[in-house]
Every structure is written in C-alpha cells, then in structure tokens.
C-alpha cells in the first residue's frame, strides 16, 4: 500500500462536605432485574439473529508490527451484554491488505465466553509498519463488518507527517455523536485519541442534558455493578457514528473519571456512596474490567491505561492514568493543593513519565492527559458567569480560583514535571487534554504569576466535549453568548491562555510535521440533531523549539 506519511497534506473534585453533582442511587436499583435494560443494548434486528456482531468492530494501540483488534459476538439471542449467559463461541479473525480480503496476511481464532461478556481481542503481530490493513471477524457462518486499521511507522522511520482525531466527553443522553461521524468521513487519520469520558455512569436525566434527554441510557439507573458497566458500554457501542469511526482508524484511549465515577480518586469518588453502593474497590474493579473487555486498549502496566506508543522519529505519545493513583481531591483554599505528599499521578507513573520524556529521541513528545495541566484562575469573573462556570468545573460557586480535580489541585506534581522539562532542556512537549468541556490553546508556564516574563515549559491543546454540557448549556443561552464575555476575562486572568471557547461541542484534528504541531478545532451545528454539520472554528500551532502557541488562520 502507498504510505500516507507525507511532507504535505491537503484538505469534574471530591471534598469533605456535601456532594456537588450527585443523585444517590438506591441499592435496589443497583441490583435490579437485568432483562429490560439489557435488551436496550441491542439493535432491534438482534431479536432473532445469532450469532451476530451487533456492536461493531474496532482496533487500537497501533504498533509498527501490530494492532489490537476487538469485537463482541452475540452467539444466541439471550446472550445479551451483562447477562452472563451464552455458550462459548469460536470467533475467527482475518487481516488483509485489501478490503476484498484477497491478500490475507494473518488469520486465527479465539473463544468468546460469558466470562468476558462475549467480547474478544486479537493482538496481531508480524505486520508491516506504516501500512493500511482491513480486518473482520466471523462466527458460526456470520461475518462482522469489515474495518480499516493502520500500523504505526517503524521506530526509526523518518516520518514526514501524522494526523490524529482528538475527542473527549461523550454523554449519550445529551445528544448524537456527530463528531465521530465527521471524523470517520475524513478518511485521513492515522489514529484517533479518546482522552476520557468515553461513557458516563449517571442514571437517566441525572447529568448534563440541558433539560432534554435526547436518548436514554441503558441501564436507566446509575451504573455500579459489573453487569451495569457492561450494559452501558454495550449501549454506546450500538451508536452507528461511533461504530463508523472505530471501523475507519485505530483508537488510542485513556480513561478519565466517568468510565469509573465522577471525580474518582484512588480510594473513592464524589459520585460514590459507601454503603448504598458498596465498596469503592469493588465498583472500581468492575468498571475497569468492563472497560478492558469493551475497549481495544492494552492494559499495559498493572491493569491501568498508562502506556507509551511511538510513531517513528516524529512523535511518541505518553498516555496517563490520572485516576488510579491520585490522592483525594481537597477543598479549594485550604493550602493542601501544594502538599508534596499529595499526588495526581502516583510516584511510579510520574517517574515513568519523566524518564520517557528525557529519553525520547523523537521530534515531538505528546502526552495524553485527561485533565488540564495549565493553571486556571477564575477569581476575577463576575458572579453571573462564575456560578455556572463553577458548576461545570466542580468549583465552589463563590469566587474561588482553582479546579482541584485538575493539575491545579496537585501543584507539586506539576512543578516537578515542568522543572524536569526545563532542567533537561526537553523541547516540544505537547499536552493533549479533554475533561473540561471547552476548547483551549495554552502555553504551560513555569510560573503563571510572572508569565510571559518567565518561560513556558510546554504547550497544551484542550478539546471540547463531543456532547457533554458546556457553559452555554448550563446557563441555557445561545451558543457563543457566554464565550464572547467569559473568554476575554479568562484570558486576562490567565496570560498563558491564547484562546478558550466555553460554549461549543466538537472535536480536534492534530496535524504534526517536523516543523510544527497544529490543532484544528471543529464545532458542531447542534449536538441534539442527528444530522448535525461540522465546521472549522480555529487553529493553533506550536512551532518546533518554541514551547509556545500561536494562532493559524486556516486548517491544515
């Protein structure tokens, strides 16, 4: 196949007081009879078809010689997600260089069992680097849809260009996944990055729908048990736009909090009530098990999502798990945000990140980062803007200046990583971030208080939400109304922030060459419309060696 690496291209914190965003789920709901919500995770055509591939196919974590393939088979009609029933079923897979599967390069089989919710993965090796492939699964005479994937370039390849879709925060009930559809339609992605909140854990109507549930969750109650998490993942995987994107390019995914529960930390979550919902350790284990069953992700290090991928000499990508090891979030204003004994990353992961950044010999060091690392002060916002902004970010609503669920709540970890970048003269580090339901282009200053007189150690591109409420949704005003007022105020209080859009939904496309890394931001016409259009909004880039962001007036 002709290489597509080219020189040019066309075209939410826990505190010790009252919960902030919480609707307690009754214990009875967590143990409800499964039959009703389970069937909602299957398309109507599943009633009398089996075996069937009703949840699509996917690939992920591209390597120079391999790719991870995923699917879920329904072997008999009653073997619906989360049911725990259904026979062991042989599932075969085939990988070819062409969509017609005339040039097969790899094939094999595995067994889908109820123990893994009839999901299967195949970690394929022996492939050629930087190459497009097609794959599909088969069971009992039924073929899955065919899908395209792509391997990473060879580790020593002089790659001239890379292009990644970038998304986060997809609340099923708040709208349609048009961002996925528009990314799938491009046909030019080497991979796509999901930076967290691939699913949401809340019950129907409990979170961020601007008063309108566009389409209900399954199960309807908040997910707590292993069966619950499986059902919710299955519901998401019935979305045709999500299926289309998974069938177009490999995903590289990390989790944030909602794959577990809102504002999760190592020992609990804001959206978890011990007693009524059982032990946090059991819920966390169930959420993680379902995640690894239903996502084409390698649990590379001790069952977490932190790991590193390489794309030739042009870029490596360090993916962080900022939920499994973090200390409990603290209330803003008590000074504990600076406590060196508190951690966001955990000691082992921070050391791993520092070592990888220092040892990297690629032009660009990308960091998949689920919560914003750039400092963010909002103390000068007017009360009418501060209160809804605070609600969105999980801030106290009377004028505090930090979001302690982000790196702002763990400033010692941030100081250590930024000092490491400066001390070792590590250039071209770009943090790619989700979570906050807004789009940002930031320098990452060593000292925000004296910036821009002091240096920037890195840059950060933050993508907005696919559907989850942003500021205009909370205030319930037309898109752009709040951003027009809030954006200049936020920028005035945060001189390292080049741009912020508080109001729109959409996605990013990150395009990388040796000279620059550019993020093109796209916005949707209406998240509640299934046929929503997408248009380019803004572009920012960081040029090699500068550690600073600048505006660009056209997409790549």
SS3 readout for 516-556? EEEEEEEEECCCCCCCCCEEEEEEEEEECCCCCEEEECCCC
pLDDT, position 35: 38
The residues facing 60 across adjacent strands are 68, 251
Please choose, from the candidates 436, 541, 521, 533, the residue with its C-alpha nearest in 3D space to the C-alpha of residue 168. 436
Q: What are phi and psi of 403, to 5 degrees?
A: -110, 105
10-residue mean pLDDT series, the chain (556 residues): 34 32 29 41 57 97 98 97 98 98 98 98 98 98 97 98 98 97 97 98 90 93 98 98 98 98 97 94 97 91 89 98 96 80 97 98 98 84 65 53 84 97 98 97 95 96 97 85 86 93 97 98 97 98 98 98
Please choose, from the candidates 117, 121, 100, 97, the residue with its C-alpha nearest in 3D space to the C-alpha of residue 109. 121
Residue 9, exposed/middle/buried by CB under 10 A (0-12, 13-18, 19+)? middle
Residue 257, exposed/middle/buried by CB under 10 A (0-12, 13-18, 19+)? buried
76 token code pair: 């008999």
Angle at 378 between CA 466 and CA 488, to 5 degrees: 75
Measure CA of the first residue to CA of the last residue in the chain; give whole Å. Answer: 24
Q: CA-CA distance, 346 to 342, in Å (whole number)?
A: 9
Give the 3-state secondary structure of residue 445: strand
The alpha carbon of 336 is separated from its chain's Cα centroid by a whole number of angstroms, namely 28
Please choose, from the candidates 421, 415, 247, the residue with its C-alpha nearest in 3D space to the C-alpha of residue 343. 415
pLDDT, position 11: 34
**How are the residues of the chain apportioned to helix, strand and coil, as percentages rounded to the nearest 5?**
20, 25, 55
Question: Structure pTM?
Answer: 0.90
Please choose, from the candidates 257, 30, 230, the residue with its C-alpha nearest in 3D space to the C-alpha of residue 116. 230
227 C-beta neighbours (distance < 10 Å), count:
23
Q: CA-CA distance, 537 to 508, in Å (whole number)?
A: 10
Please choose, from the candidates 319, 215, 202, the residue with its C-alpha nearest in 3D space to the C-alpha of residue 530. 215
Please choose, from the candidates 106, 104, 122, the residue with its C-alpha nearest in 3D space to the C-alpha of residue 67. 122
Please choose, from the candidates 439, 443, 421, 459, the residue with its C-alpha nearest in 3D space to the C-alpha of residue 498. 443
Strand 439-445's sheet: what is its strand order?
A: 307-311, 315-319, 364-369, 429-433, 456-462, 439-445, 497-501
Give the 3-state secondary structure of residue 192: strand
Residue entry with tokens 């989700």: 434
pLDDT, position 474: 83
pLDDT, position 387: 67
pLDDT, position 489: 83
Q: What are phi and psi of 461, to 5 degrees?
A: -115, 125
Q: What is the CA radius of gyration of the chain?
A: 22
392 token code pair: 């969105």
Please choose, from the candidates 263, 465, 462, 498, the residue with its C-alpha nearest in 3D space to the C-alpha of residue 369. 462
The alpha carbon of 455 is separated from its chain's Cα centroid by a whole number of angstroms, namely 29
SS3 readout for 395-454? CCCCCCCCCCCCHHHCHHHHHHHHHHHHHCCCCCEEEEECCCCCEEEEEEECCCCCCCCC
In Å, how far are 165, 173, 502, 518 from 549, measured between CA atoms? 19, 35, 19, 9
pLDDT, position 381: 61
pLDDT, position 334: 64
pLDDT, position 211: 78
């Amino acid at each position: 196949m002709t290489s597509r690496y080219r020189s040019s291209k066309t075209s939410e914190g826990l505190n010790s007081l009252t919960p902030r965003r919480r609707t307690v789920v009754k214990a009875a709901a967590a143990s409800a009879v499964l039959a009703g919500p389970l069937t909602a995770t299957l398309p109507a055509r599943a009633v009398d078809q089996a075996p069937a591939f009703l949840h699509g196919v996917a690939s992920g974590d591209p390597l120079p010689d391999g790719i991870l393939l995923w699917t879920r088979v329904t072997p008999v009609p009653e073997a619906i997600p989360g049911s725990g029933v259904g026979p062991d079923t042989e599932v075969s897979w085939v990988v070819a260089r062409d969509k017609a599967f005339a040039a097969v390069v790899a094939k094999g089989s595995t067994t889908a069992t109820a123990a893994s919710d009839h999901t299967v993965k195949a970690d394929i090796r022996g492939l050629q680097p930087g190459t497009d492939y097609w794959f599909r699964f088969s069971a009992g005479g039924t073929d899955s849809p065919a899908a395209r994937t792509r391997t990473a370039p060879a580790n020593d390849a002089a790659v001239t260009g890379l292009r990644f879709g970038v998304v986060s925060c997809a609340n099923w009930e708040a709208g349609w996944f048009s961002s996925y559809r528009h990314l799938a339609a491009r046909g030019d992605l080497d991979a796509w990055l999901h930076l967290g909140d691939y699913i949401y854990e809340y019950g129907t109507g409990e979170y961020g729908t601007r008063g309108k549930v566009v389409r209900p969750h399954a199960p309807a109650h908040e997910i707590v048990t292993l069966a619950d998490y499986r059902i919710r993942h299955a519901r998401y995987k019935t979305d045709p736009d999500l299926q289309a994107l998974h069938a177009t390019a490999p995903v590289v995914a990390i989790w944030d909090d909602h794959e577990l529960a809102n504002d999760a930390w190592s020992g609990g979550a804001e959206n978890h009530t011990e007693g009524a919902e059982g032990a946090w350790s059991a819920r966390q284990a169930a959420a993680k098990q379902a995640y690894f069953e239903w996502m084409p992700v390698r649990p590379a290090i001790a069952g977490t999502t932190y790991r590193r991928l390489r794309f030739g000499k042009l870029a490596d990508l360090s993916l962080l798990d900022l939920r499994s090891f973090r200390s409990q979030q603290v209330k803003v204003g008590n000074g504990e945000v600076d406590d060196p004994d508190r951690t966001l990353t955990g000691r082992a992961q921070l050391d791993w990140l520092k070592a990888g950044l220092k040892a990297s010999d690629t032009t660009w060091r990308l960091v998949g980062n689920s919560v914003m690392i750039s400092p963010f002060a909002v103390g000068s916002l007017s009360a009418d803007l501060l209160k809804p902004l605070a609600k969105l970010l999980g801030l106290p609503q009377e004028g505090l200046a930090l979001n302690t669920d982000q790196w702002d709540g763990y400033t010692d970890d941030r100081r250590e990583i930024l000092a490491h970048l400066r001390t070792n003269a590590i250039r071209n580090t770009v943090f790619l971030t989700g979570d906050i339901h807004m789009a940002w282009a930031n320098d990452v200053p060593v000292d925000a208080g004296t910036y821009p007189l002091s240096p920037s150690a890195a840059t950060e591109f933050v993508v907005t939400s696919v559907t989850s409420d942003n500021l205009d949704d909370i205030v319930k005003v037309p898109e752009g109304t709040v951003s027009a007022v809030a954006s200049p105020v936020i920028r005035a209080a945060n001189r390292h922030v080049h741009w912020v859009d508080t109001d729109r939904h959409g996605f990013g496309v990150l395009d990388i060459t040796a000279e620059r890394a550019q993020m093109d931001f796209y916005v949707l016409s209406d998240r509640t419309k299934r046929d929503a259009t997408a248009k380019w909004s803004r572009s920012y880039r960081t040029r090699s060696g500068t550690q600073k962001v600048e505006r660009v007036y056209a997409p790549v």
